[in-house]
Amino acid sequence: MPEMSYILLQEQQGNLQFVEMPASHAYQLSALNLRLHKELSKLTADNVPLLPKAIAEFRALDLLDENQSPIGGLQYVNELEQTFASIREGSYPLISLLTEIRALQAQLEQWYEEEDML
């Protein structure tokens, strides 16, 4: 089984999410999350999403709460892409953010195909 990492995300309400990522790509999701947070304040659209913030990255995950489970990295990035694609932005060059999201999305799709995990 390939080595996986986990990104801990915290929503503004305090809820936690765990995203399972290939270890080779975990840093990219963390960096993308930080960049998106930096750029969100520049968006002028009326439907700017509330994005959870990456607060930790780690290799092993032992969840003690059986109601919690990690979100697959590709699923999370697909949902992120859909969320940002739906933003009706006129002023800020949103395409640059979407390009970064889609680049990670393509890398993950390729990784999962190579690992035969799709």
pLDDT tens-digit profile of 55-102?
999 999 999 988 889 999 999 999 999 999 999 887 777 888 999 999
Q: Alpha-carbon torsion 72, 18, 65, 15, what sign?
A: negative
Of the candidates 4, 9, 11, the residue with the CA atom closest to the CA atom of residue 26 = 4
- Whole-number percent of the chain with pLDDT over 70: 97
* Euclidean distance between CA atoms 98 and 101, whole angstroms: 5
| pLDDT tens-digit series, residues 13-67 | 999 999 999 999 999 999 999 999 999 888 888 888 899 999 999 999 999 988 8
Mean of all residue pLDDT scores within the chain: 92
User: Which secondary structure element, helix H or strand E, spans residue 97, and what is its range?
Assistant: helix 94-114
* Sheet arrangement for strand 53-58: 53-58, 4-10, 16-22, 71-72
Rg (CA), the chain: 15
